[in-house]
């Protein structure tokens, strides 16, 4: 009993050095972001010497035609990828939670989540080779490859919160709808979908952030004239670094933080 009592009273926050290690980790994680945001307001062109407060780099970034085009392209790709991946993830979640256990269900679950465990560079190379074969056979070189790649690797990110939401939902109301002669589609549309909507929205926003932020796969798959905002930022950093890139990155960080915050609010328990 004494050992059980000590095990229950264990609290990692009371361990020696825990607070110092936690503060150090948070500092190393967020200090660069704070510096990035701070120097985006620098009046001069240096990214390491403060020369006064100014909005000039935000005005320059907003009025930059190349940044505008890259941003629009990123939003288009992320929007299409989010729509396709969320629909596919919802169907996959229903197929693995709202059916009787069948042989191969565990394999299907592992297959859906496989992109989360495979190194992104491996996925990028595999997509590059696969799309090269298709290009050689069809001659098509449009945006379809980039859209398909983003939709494919976003599916597991959308799938996890949707599946988690379905697993937390009681089947009583769905069974009651079936007892009242509702068809499977009517039960889904009137009972399951309204209760599942927070999970779908959370999965969609997570997929949108992942697609918007992706670099490795986009770098391998994107063709000429298909530069997204992350690729534009990387390209500029290779040439000359100015606070304009800080401003772009700060705006990018702000959008991502807002979406992740909304995702957290939608996915947490009531």
For residue 42, list its beta bridge partners: 53
Q: d(Cα 189, Cα 172) in Å, to the nearest integer?
A: 16
Please tell me the CATH superfamily of domain 64-267, with its number.
Answer: MetI-like (1.10.3720.10)
Residue that the structure tokens 């394999």 belong to: 107
Burial environment of residue 243 by CB neighbours within 10 A (0 to 12, 13 to 18, 19 or more): buried
Mean per-residue pLDDT of the chain? 84
Residue range 220-261, pLDDT digits in tens = 998 888 889 888 888 887 877 778 888 888 888 888 888 778
Q: Is the pLDDT of residue 17 over 50?
A: yes
Q: d(Cα 45, Cα 78) in Å, to the nearest integer?
A: 32
List of residues 6+ apart from 260 with CB closer than 8 A: 205, 206, 209
Task: Say what the pLDDT of residue 270 is.
Answer: 47
Residue range 46-56, pLDDT digits in tens = 777 788 888 88
Q: Where are the alpha helices (DSSP H) in the chain?
A: 2-8, 18-39, 56-63, 65-97, 105-117, 120-138, 144-168, 172-179, 184-187, 193-213, 216-221, 229-239, 243-267
Q: d(Cα 76, Cα 229) in Å, to the nearest integer?
A: 11
Q: Is the pLDDT of residue 136 over 80?
A: yes
- Do residues 219 and 149 touch, judged by C-beta distance below 8 A? no
Residue range 104-126, pLDDT digits in tens = 777 877 888 888 888 889 999 99
- Where in the chain are the domains? 64-267
Task: Say what the pLDDT of residue 225 is.
Answer: 84
C-alpha torsion sign, points 109, 112, 118, 119: negative
Full-prediction pTM beyond 0.75? yes
CA angle centred on 185, ends 179 and 188, rounded to 5°: 75
- What average pLDDT does this structure show over 148-159? 92
Single out the residue of 232, 234, 262 nearest to residue 72, CA to CA: 232
- What average pLDDT does this structure show over 130-150? 90
Residue range 37-47, pLDDT digits in tens = 888 888 888 77
SS3 42: strand
């Amino acid at each position: 009993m004494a050992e059980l009592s000590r095990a229950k009273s264990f609290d990692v926050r009371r361990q020696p050095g825990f607070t110092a290690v936690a503060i150090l980790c948070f500092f190393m994680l967020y200090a660069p972001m704070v510096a990035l945001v701070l120097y985006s307001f620098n009046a001069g062109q240096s990214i390491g010497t403060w020369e006064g407060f100014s909005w000039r780099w935000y005005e320059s970034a907003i009025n930059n035609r190349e940044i505008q085009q890259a941003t629009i392209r990123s939003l288009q790709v992320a929007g299409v990828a989010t729509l396709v991946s969320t629909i596919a993830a919802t169907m996959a979640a229903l197929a693995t939670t709202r059916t009787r256990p069948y042989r191969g269900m565990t394999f299907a679950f592992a297959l859906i989540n496989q992109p989360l465990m495979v190194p992104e560079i491996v996925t990028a190379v595999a997509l590059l080779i696969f799309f090269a074969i298709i290009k050689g056979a069809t001659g098509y070189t449009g945006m379809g490859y980039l859209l398909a790649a983003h939709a494919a690797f976003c599916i597991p990110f959308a799938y996890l919160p949707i599946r988690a939401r379905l697993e937390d939902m009681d089947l009583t109301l769905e069974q009651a709808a079936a007892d009242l002669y509702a068809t499977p589609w009517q039960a889904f549309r009137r009972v399951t979908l309204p209760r599942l909507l927070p999970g779908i929205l959370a999965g969609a926003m997570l997929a949108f952030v992942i697609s918007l932020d992706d670099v490795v796969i986009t770098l391998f798959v994107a063709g000429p004239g298909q530069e997204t905002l992350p690729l534009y930022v990387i390209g500029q950093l290779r040439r000359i670094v100015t606070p304009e890139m800080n401003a772009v990155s700060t705006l990018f960080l702000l959008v991502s933080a807002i979406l992740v915050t909304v995702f957290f609010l939608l996915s947490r328990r009531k």
